[in-house]
Amino acid sequence: MEENEEIEENEEPTITWQKRAKMALPHAGLYLSLFVYLMVGAAVFHWLEYEADEKIQNAKLERIKNVRTSPAF
């Protein structure tokens, strides 16, 4: 009886690469899905806001040009 208990205590289940892959794939899929979701959201935001942002930047640039060309007092 003691021999069987000792053998059972000393035996550790070996985790094969297949078991590790089975554990890791859901996590990798989640990270990949999150990354794709973020990239699509960024692309949509860029598409929606690009024109307004460009107008604001051009207005700022014109103001800077006007300051440079205006005579100093």
pTM of the model: 0.57
Report d(CA 41, CA 48) in Å as an integer. Answer: 11
Q: How far is CA 40 from CA 18, 33, 53, 61, in A?
A: 32, 11, 19, 30
What tens digit of pLDDT does each residue of 4-54 get?
Answer: 555 555 555 677 988 988 999 999 999 999 999 999 999 999 999 999 999
Please report the pLDDT score of residue 58 as a whole number: 96
Please report the pLDDT score of residue 5 as a whole number: 55
What tens digit of pLDDT does each residue of 40-69 get?
Answer: 999 999 999 999 999 999 999 999 998 878
